[in-house]
Amino acid sequence: MTIRSILIANRGEIAVRIIRAAQALGIRTVQVHSAADRDMLAVRLADQSVEIGPPSAAKSYLNIEAVLKAARETGVDAVHPGYGFLSENAAFAQAVEDAGLIFVGPKAGAISLLGDKVEARKVAKRAGVPTVPGSEGRIDDLQTACAIVEQIGFPVMIKAAAGGGGRGIRIAETMADFERHFPQASAEALAAFGDGGLYVEKVITRARHVEVQILGDGEDAVHCFERECSLQRRRQKVWEEAPSFRLPDHVRQELCASAVALAREVNYRGAGTVEYLYDETSGEFYFIEVNTRIQVEHPVTEMITGIDLVQEMIRVAGGAKLSVRQEDIRVTGHAIECRINAEDPARGFLPGPGTIETLGVPSGDGVRFDTMLYEGYTVPPFYDSLLGKLIVWGETRDACIARLADALDNLEIRGLATTIPLHQALAADPSVASGDVHTRFLEPWLETDFQAFVASKEVA
């Protein structure tokens, strides 16, 4: 079925991104929004908009019936969930299909299977993908969990079987830590995802977070190479790159091939990301999870491959075959994305919504800014603090970092505090420049190097 109209069941910068991709394909767009988002940029850009509830996400963007009602009333063919909110909700995907509409993403069965981290590990093993040592299935009681961690050894990570985004995760260095953290993680997972099931895995010391972008049409699958996402705060990504740096070619080939094997194992449709931990010391990599949606960091992959991932999602959802073959996908240059949030990094990342008084966006070759902002827009306090993403491309990684530093200096957002200073400090840091980072690098760096960077700016 050819998609002629699409409803965007999301908000912010990803809603703007989807609208622009759809309009480039000649597709009519309908934007749903909460009462707090009547003035957001996506509402202005869409062909039509529908208010679906009050500011609370639970009563608007997470309200399946309200979204489907808007879809029925506007006569759309398809629904794109973006990322977050209902994007990895199998019940929502099924409800969209049951309503006679196209869900722009994987089938509900694949979302359900891969969204459960325990089941996803089983799929990975069937596909021959190496997994982090840990529990073979979900664990619902402490006694069983303690027996497992005695076998695999400390430190271990306790993770929610459902959900993601760092929720329900605890690291235990000792058995006493484990016995204390296990019920806390279960309670947090239950509150966040409605499922208190957990699993445990061995912590890989100085691991790097490397993920592979996959595309599938339900029959065939390809990879669009990998991204490096090791710079994280509280397990939330801050800065992403493509391709991964200091990754041996043979590891890259094995990593990407394993992601495709996993995608084919479940007849994957749409865009997705297979995430891994890479142990630079041993050269081994381990599967951790699959994100069955478009990622926040997808633009860096687009910049190095020239593939519009969102357009490809829409095409295959409408029944088309993949427009690219694996042998045609090449990496050109290097790209970095900085997440610009409405937070003050010098004050413990204190969130600070407000009104955009001045917006100055850098331009030029290799510079892209995906955002929901415009001058005079008031950022509401009810949702994620992401304002936009500055994405920069260069022929080499060094050239890319230099271009990024210049772009950050020319990115002006006045009216509220942002994380621009954080990224300026990272772009100037010698460890970042050399690629000597890992998933635990950023938090201690924030306490030392970043504070020194802030102090130097204040003196200047």
Closest listed residue to residue 239, CA positions, set 57, 108, 392:
392
Mean pLDDT over 324-342 rounds to: 98
Helix (H, G, I), strand (E, B) or coil at 63: coil
Q: What integer best gives the mean pLDDT of the chain?
A: 95
Peptide bond into 243 cis (omega under 30): yes
Which pLDDT tens digit goes with each residue over 240-276? 999 999 999 999 999 999 999 999 999 999 999 999 9
Cα(242)–Cα(211) distance, rounded to whole angstroms? 10
Active site members: 293
Closest listed residue to residue 419, CA positions, set 311, 324, 347:
347
| Inter-residue contact 314 to 21 (CB < 8 Å) | yes
Which pLDDT tens digit goes with each residue over 382-392? 999 999 999 99
Which pLDDT tens digit goes with each residue over 28-57? 999 999 999 999 999 999 999 999 999 999
Contact residues for 361 (Cβ-Cβ < 8 A; gap 6+): 369, 371, 411
Task: Report residue 195's pLDDT band, with 50, 70 and 90 as the boundaries.
Answer: confident
Task: Report residue 459's pLDDT band, with 50, 70 and 90 as the boundaries.
Answer: low
| Inter-residue contact 284 to 355 (CB < 8 Å) | no
Q: What is the pLDDT of residue 166?
A: 65
- Is residue 167 scored above 80 in pLDDT? no
- Is residue 458 scored above 80 in pLDDT? no
Which pLDDT tens digit goes with each residue over 424-433? 999 999 999 9
Helix segments in 64-196, DSSP class H: 64-74, 90-98, 108-115, 117-126, 142-152, 175-193
Mean pLDDT over 189-195 rounds to: 83
- Is residue 145 scored above 70 in pLDDT? yes
Report field, pTM of the whole predicted structure over 0.75: yes
Which helix (H) or strand (E) is 274 found in, with range? strand 269-279
Mean pLDDT over 333-340 rounds to: 98
What is the dihedral sign for C-alpha 261, 130, 266, 314?
negative
Domains of the chain: 5-104 (3.40.50.20), 133-202 (3.30.1490.20), 207-459 (3.30.470.20)
User: In the chain, pLDDT over 90 holds for what percent of residues?
Assistant: 85
- Is residue 85 scored above 80 in pLDDT? yes
